[in-house]
Amino acid sequence: MARGDLSDVEWELVEPFLPLGGRGPVPDLRRLFNAVMWRFRTGRPWRDVPQEYGSWSTVYGAFQRWAAAGTFRMLMGGMIAEAAARDQVALDLVSVDSTVARAHHHAAGMAVDPELLDELEKAVAEEKGLIERGKAHRWLRRTRTATTWCVRTTKTHLAAERRCRRLSFVLTPGQDADSPRFVPVLEGIKVRGPVGRPRTRPGAVAADKTHSSRANRAYLRRRRIRCVIPEKADQVANRKKKGSRGGRPVAHDPDLYKDRNTVERCINKIKEWRGLATRYDKTATGYLAGLHLRGAVIWIRSLRPT
């Protein structure tokens, strides 16, 4: 077993989630899975996968099939459910934040169908018109070269619990703001237990000032979730300017807010894998699959014996 590969106990948790091929000989799933982990852990090209893991094309083909089928997403959900079954998930406080990964030039140059390229150019033209009128919605930070299309940066919005383990991911272009993604991140929290519906409501949510908005606070209030988000200076000034019409000051617990660092530590754990600290994948599907894989491995290696 090479450094970083799954142990026998860890493999017993992973194996039920990996589908077998529809035809041909049964592949060595453990070796393929360890190879995919090696690629994201080191950030090396797929062609550099060591021979001990088998042919690089076989490894890449398995990764593509698993990513398209949502295998890594289901694996991470299964590991969260396993932790919940062992009573090792704490939802008393969930922290939300985001991180940006710069795209390597190997992530550029994805071939685009000519018809799709024409549609993208029309979207750019419409966006330029909106920019001139001050009504732009910049969904992608992009560059165009000949018949290729690439994204320069990718932003990952995530929620983490007290033990620095990820609960949900939302992937967006690098220039997207944090506040509009606050609700989708929380909506992605689903902790399945042995029986009953999944748990989706944490006791409290901590986030920095970039997530401070009336809409986000109203969402937390409607779901009866304690809000631990400091108020922006301009929002405080605007409220005081209105006097009694500005409403009451926002309640904030500075002691509980100190525990928000758990999501930042979770980001550090994710970016220990070089293939995620920098984006080398041309497609968002591949990069998101790597994020789910890393999230699943973090959960697996944090489980305490029962």
- How many Å apart are CA 258 and CA 296, to the nearest integer? 26
Residue 168 lies in a domain: yes
In a domain, residue 118? The reply is yes
17 in a structural domain: no
pLDDT one-digit tens code per residue, 131-164: 444 443 333 344 444 334 445 788 999 999 999 9
In angstroms and rounded to an integer, the radius of gyration of the C-alpha atoms of the chain is: 22
Q: Which residue has the higher pLDDT, 23 or 79?
A: 79
Question: pLDDT digits over 234-256, tens only?
Answer: 777 877 777 777 767 777 888 99
* Residue 161 domain-assigned (yes or no): yes
Q: Which amino acid is at 63?
A: F
Range of lowest pLDDT (53-62, 74-83, 117-126, 222-231): 117-126
The boundaries of the domain holding residue 205 are: 90-277
The model's pLDDT over 275-302, given as tens digits with 9 standing for 90+, comes to 999 998 888 889 999 999 999 999 999 9
β strands within 174-301, DSSP E: 204-206, 226-228, 278-279
The string of pLDDT tens digits covering residues 15-47 is: 999 987 656 566 789 999 999 999 999 999 999
Per-residue pLDDT tens digits for 181-231: 999 999 999 999 888 899 999 999 999 999 988 899 999 999 999 999 998
Tell me the two tokens of residue 298.
């973090």
The tally of domains found in the chain comes to 1
pLDDT of residue 33: 96
Angstrom distance (rounded) from CA 209 to CA 80:
28
For the chain, give the mean pLDDT: 84
Q: For residue 28, is it within any domain?
A: no
Inside any domain, residue 245: yes
Q: φ and ψ at 303, to 5 degrees?
A: -70, 130
Confirm whether 41 is domain-assigned.
no
Domain membership flag for residue 2:
no
Angle between helices 56-69 and 29-42 (to 10 degrees): 90
